[in-house]
Structure 1
């Protein structure tokens, strides 16, 4: 006689893991071979590039290498670690996966400047053919990349993708189809990467907007995440109900309550990396203003203050007054 299986096992096609604990979140392992292969391969390539630069005598910050490895590690944990063990059967755990992919891992990847590292490490071809370096630069400067790297497009992609994904059959498809699940991982990681790159990236690409506009985009996205999380927390309709509603987990899980808890996590956790980005943007803005002030000071020293005098004269004309005298002119009168 066939062995009886639980509803959860019948739906997911896999044994039900033990009840979630902190240890289970840390040590749980459900390998996604394709994602792990990609992550390990990327880590090996990054370390190879770093070693190549060191052998050549070129400096490259070790902190950037570490940042890239942390970002890859977060993707690996999200797809194969404790988050993956529970993300298939608990909406709250799935939301942990989502927020790490779209909000946390991209920060480490962007700060690692992978494109700049690749451009410096890969050899350039002088015979007119296209090698990996030339293809990478062509992709970075392509029209498609330029469109998705536009600030508003990047922000709308992050926010709009969440609505399209969770409130359409795509969400349940990602639970029942592994290719769709892989597509979710790739899409949200790239969407988060493009958005963070607009804000604090250093890699080559389209011109980044002014710092005020970057802050507006960031705070708008923070507000959307808060709204999205609140809508899940207050919602009374179960998403992917035929999946989560039929699992009958042995720990006595209320699927709707778990979804609401997932919304609360999205609301709260989403603000943490966003605030970190806001602080980073503020500091970068201050440093940029300081560099601009130093450039103006050097220019003033070279031309004897002519640029500042012309600026003051323009202000005086706009105000309808006379052209102000330079301080050294006042003292000679």
Structure 2
């Protein structure tokens, strides 16, 4: 219990120091809520962060480190349940303190206080965020107590990460420049920091219960996850700091000083993580001596506590870059929070950037892990076609450009650009990624676990053979999803949600990628699937789906009603075509751009069909050579018998 105690002590000490340095707990000149609120709010927020770490970290360890049904598995879920309960209570207290801080009211039992609190929780964005966080925490508490099935627990883990998103959406003022980037960075920061800290906390609490070999395996697996968390936390922290500090000279401010201390703690944690991977695991495995383990974990907990305390204080400290919404705004700024970009050209589409950290990390990790798998196969003497690696890297680079380049700059302002991005995500990117066979590579490159736990390979196998995958990977279902997604997206409130809300925008990208990937996989995929259509029916499915695409594009080209007129029609653009003409151009994009990947898919299906026939003919010839044409001889003998019988009659 020394390491968890070190975390708590270091967190509270760091928080008090950071509040004093940053001035976040100083009395306010107007409407001061009092000492209890000024100190209680950051303390409650810090407890939320620690509880979230225990919740997410424990669920992650149960899913990827421990064997279902084992004693440590049950103890880990008990830790997750207790952390979820603490998360729920502290989130409710934080929401209550936020109400007192915003209104500077004193606690009372009269109707006006309760009505004001109810309005804050149901009508104000800040109150709604903490209400949702509290409700999700309550649901997670029940699920962590009730669910013990490891597969069902995977979805509980996803829900635990989603429970932190409402907090991330309040970390940067909506309507100010950089809001979307700040939300993404903060969400990634708190989720991966929670997994990092929570996993270490579980190891510290359960290490005495684990045998030496089990502890070595657990530390090794946690160390690999911690390295990924370190990279994500470092990059997301940099983005968040850059948005709030602005220039390097602002590092001399109180906020900048707190950021520098947090960076120092992060670097120290990186060094300790390197010691874990290069020294601690091998020493534990060789000698079984745990003394160094306890000391290193205690020191790591101290630095984790420092980072946690300073993070809570930073959330209450005034930033050098103002978070206030400008008084005078253009229509584009009112709608998007960003100034209207310059008139687009071919060059600006290639050179303009609006980075989305989520997809920067997805593409970066995607390329790195794929190439690492190829290198591992080559080192053990297994072959992997070079063109698959080229296709994968090209697909990831195209995905990177669509989600971070010129299309991401202009897709909010021009419907035609949005449609081009849609078609690229759902057709061109999968056309490059599917033939690369990522699932096949993962199953061949990732080591199989033999201790009953589930690693990445085991989870991939489970997903591939699940009933859900059997349904959605069915070629007919994939084709229907691919075709009907157009109507379901553009003619329902989903389109507004994906355009106005940043979370909806991220969902849109994921949706288009998955639907397009499933469709292309059904036509030309090499990864294992439950059922594959015969080649003639693949061509029919492709033609039918593309015909639906063409009708959709023609409907937009001939339509006279503007989709989301209060958005695309109210942007205040001084350049480019009118909103209606631009929408009609988007219909042309849907109709024409889709023809290119359609033609490529048809050619690939035809080539695979031809190669399949050649392989079947070759197989039969080899079988005939091995058996000295036994099958043909048997067939001729049957014909002779029939002929003799007919002659006798």
TM-score by length of 1: 0.90
* 1:26 corresponds to: 350
Q: Which of 459, 475, 482 is matched with 1:151 structurally?
A: 475
String of CA shifts for 1:134-156, please: whole Å, max 9, x gaps.
11111111111111000100000
Q: Is 1:183 equivalent to 2:507 in the alignment?
A: yes
* 1:275 corresponds to: 599
SS for the counterpart of 2:572 is coil
Give the Cα separation in 2 of the matches to 1:131 and 1:28: 40
C-alpha change, 1:253 and 1:312, in structure 2 (3 Å) is: farther
Q: Which of 200, 206, 213 is matched with 2:530 structurally?
A: 206
Q: Is 1:249 equivalent to 2:604 in the alignment?
A: no
Structure 2: gaps spanning 5 or more residues: 1-325, 645-649
String of CA shifts for 1:95-124, please: whole Å, max 9, x gaps.
111000001000111011000111111001
Q: Is 1:194 equivalent to 2:518 in the alignment?
A: yes
* 1:171 corresponds to: 495
* 1:291 corresponds to: 615
Q: Is 1:231 equivalent to 2:555 in the alignment?
A: yes
* 1:330 corresponds to: none
Give the Cα separation in 2 of the matches to 1:312 and 1:234: 64
How far the C-alpha of 1:47 sits from its partner, in A, is 1.9
C-alpha change, 1:130 and 1:305, in structure 2 (3 Å) is: same
8 A Cα contact 1:312 1:324, kept in partner: no
How far the C-alpha of 1:304 sits from its partner, in A, is 5.3
> Pairwise mapping of residues 94-133 of structure 1 onto structure 2 (< 5 A)?
94-133=418-457
SS for the counterpart of 1:46 is helix
> Pairwise mapping of residues 3-152 of structure 1 onto structure 2 (< 5 A)?
4-152=328-476
8 A Cα contact 2:557 2:583, kept in partner: yes
How far the C-alpha of 1:239 sits from its partner, in A, is 1.0
Extract structure 1 runs of 4+ deviating beyond 6 A: 309-314
Once superposed, what is the RMSD of the aligned Cα atoms? 2.1
SS for the counterpart of 1:89 is coil
How far the C-alpha of 1:312 sits from its partner, in A, is 8.2
Structure 1: gaps spanning 5 or more residues: 317-321, 326-333
* 1:328 corresponds to: none
Give the Cα separation in 1 of the matches to 2:508 and 2:636: 55
Give the Cα separation in 1 of the matches to 2:538 and 2:634: 31
Matched pairs, number: 319
TM-score by length of 2: 0.47
Greater RCO structure (CA 8 Å; 6+ sep): 1
Give the Cα separation in 1 of the matches to 2:566 and 2:342: 22
* 2:76 corresponds to: none
Give the Cα separation in 2 of the matches to 1:43 and 1:305: 49
Give the Cα separation in 1 of the matches to 2:598 and 2:575: 34
Q: Which of 237, 240, 258 is matched with 2:582 structurally?
A: 258
How far the C-alpha of 1:3 sits from its partner, in A, is 5.6
Which structure's residues are more often helix, by fraction? 2
Give the Cα separation in 2 of the matches to 1:199 and 1:58: 27
How far the C-alpha of 1:49 sits from its partner, in A, is 1.5
